[in-house]
Amino acid sequence: MVEQNIDTPFAPVKAEAGPTATPEHPPARAARGKPQRAPGPFIEAQDGTLLFHRDWGAGKPVLFLSGWALSSEMWGYLMLDLADNGLRCVAYDRRGHGRSSDPGRGYDLDTLADDLAAVLEQLDLREVTLVGHSMSGGEIARYLSRHGDRRIARAVFLAPTTPMVLKAPDNPDGLDRLLVEQVRAAMRADYPGWLADNAAPFFMPDTSPATMDWVRQLMLQCSMKALIDCNRASVEADFRDELRRIKVPTLVIHGDRDASAPLPLTGEKTAALVPGGRLIVYEGAPHGLFITHRERLGRDLLAFAQR
């Protein structure tokens, strides 16, 4: 099941149609030098794409980046807990995901990193703790290498797919390209069926069928263009050099029963590459540990963000 589940995050997210700019929901533009909340729910990326965001609480800022096919609502439980404990929790929908617009382009990692920069700059967030699940660990690495860490205090890679998924002479335990292409072809042929076949390993045995079905239905709302292009961008990338250049304190949290991003291939290597990187392994945790191990994860994130 490892091959079938690679980079397949599930999470709570209410899917809606992509937004358009209206007087009620204008693109957000922050005043220079003055930390503030955007006047509406949308932030405008460099190419005009509108990114939906949510902003809860007050205190040190934590910015959540969602996994593949997921939107900011996946973080709702954790954001509520952390906001109640004195943190400002911000999350946004990646382009083509959730309530953000689907421009049909810009699903490469450079553009996605620039979208993250737009959110940070337009909200004028500083001393930020970045938290990225699965695919978005790569977005964090690319943002830091492309834009620097002037606004970033620390980073959390949660069940990341970094540093490199594909097999290579210097990455012999990676996945065969042919296998990855077969998985992608299966998604293109019958994405709902593929999700149904591969949902169970994402959760724990005691996860309710209703929750599993709810998450699966939410993932079906993501743009097919975003699904395929983001999968290709993240699975085929090599972040090893970028991880070596991270200077901010970094925490990697990973489950030892992660079928989507096996710990030895991803989390262990990520923590080893980041200078001073710290790895916490959750025994028995799957890829969806932000649901299945939410209380423990909330405690670890709170302690790390308040350092």
Report the candidate in 259, 236, 103 with the shortest Cα–Cα distance to residue 176.
Answer: 236
CA dist list (Å): 269 to 47, 60, 74, 125, 279: 34, 29, 26, 29, 10
* Active-site choice (134, 145, 223, 260): 134
Largest distance between two CA atoms of the chain: 54
Structure-token pair, residue 72: 């900011």
Q: Where would I find the H helices in 206-265?
A: 209-219, 224-235, 240-244
Extract the runs of DSSP E, i.e. beta strands, from 134-230: 152-158
Active site residue 134: yes
Q: Alpha carbon 168 to chain centroid distance?
A: 25
- Whether 69 and 222 have beta carbons less than 8 Å apart is answered as yes
Active-site entry in 97, 133, 258, 260: 258
Catalytic residue among 97, 133, 254, 287: 287
Catalytic site positions: 134, 258, 287
